[in-house]
Homo-oligomer: A and B are copies of this chain.
């Protein structure tokens, strides 16, 4: 950390800080400039954070210089990680397509969506049995019945399944069915839930909070990692901005930025960020081009009857183009589509 003293800080103010830091087991280096004095702190940052350094006499600003996350940081783990979900890799060499219905509604709808997904090149099936909805009057998902449908469809299609968990106390149940647990954007700082998925032996896909900075997103991942689970895939899904033409604003820059700060894979959700079917394919292309390790996409056999987010689901006519994008774009960024990676394995 660095403490910047105000222009009117007295020598005694500076001494007081040096003593406080020393008492906390750290060391303070004082650099006296013409108009300002700067004090560099060396030691355990977590300990310094608890001190009210900003409240001390003469202090103008306190700045952190190291990342507050450790386990997910690339500082100590320079090589980018590959996470395997039921054998399917998500990582720097591939582009993984995860697709399926937003919500599991019926066995028939889920199977049809899974077959659409597979035909487009998907190697993992998404589908929600527990749906966090803004309105208490909206469809909240089928619960365990939905998990059973997903398990049946996995049986029929061979696609491992990714599904959301919304309550810490459902984690074991959901993990008993799922190949990968999903934490949604509204739970991105539900720390009880993050800790719970940290204690279970299944990979986790962590969506970025729609209001989370990249640093907060990595801190949320650190919560999971700190409980012993490092099989985490980060998912950018749009942030909240002033623009209303799209549901959220897909922050494509976050993909290379997060990949540079963390060794974890980063994928993109082009369906929920825009909230509009006509944006899904352009944003999928942008996601792969910017360097995402995968994309997760809503498909639905009959979106006009969907119980959740029908307006953004891709339909049959879009899937040929999705398949083409998944096939043709990865080589241009030095990757293979995960489907081809499996096929050639």
Task: Please give the residue numbers on chain A whose beta carbons come within 8 Å of chain B beta carbons, in ascending order.
Answer: 2, 4, 7, 29, 31-36, 38, 40-43, 46, 49-52, 54-56, 60-61, 63, 65-66, 68-69, 75, 132-139, 166-169, 186-187, 189-193, 195, 209-211, 213-216, 219, 222-223, 226, 239-246, 249-257, 260, 273-274, 276-279, 282-283, 285-291, 303-307, 310-311, 328-329, 332-333
Contact = CB atoms under 8 A, between A and B. Distances in A.
A29 B34 CA distance: 12
A33 B38 contact: no
A112 B52 CA distance: 19
Contacts of A307: 50
Contact of A55 (B132, B137, B277): B277
A163 to B, nearest CB: 16
The 5 closest A-B pairs by CB, nearest first: A211-B211, A31-B40, A289-B289, A29-B31, A186-B189
B56 A222 contact: no
A46 B167 contact: no
What's the dominant secondary structure at chain A's contact region? mixed
Contact of A304 (B4, B56, B306): B56
How many chain copies does the complex carry? Answer: 4
A52 B306 contact: yes
Nearest to A324: B332
A303 B249 contact: no
Given A31-B40, A291-B282, A307-B50, A241 B249 contact: yes
A283 B278 contact: no
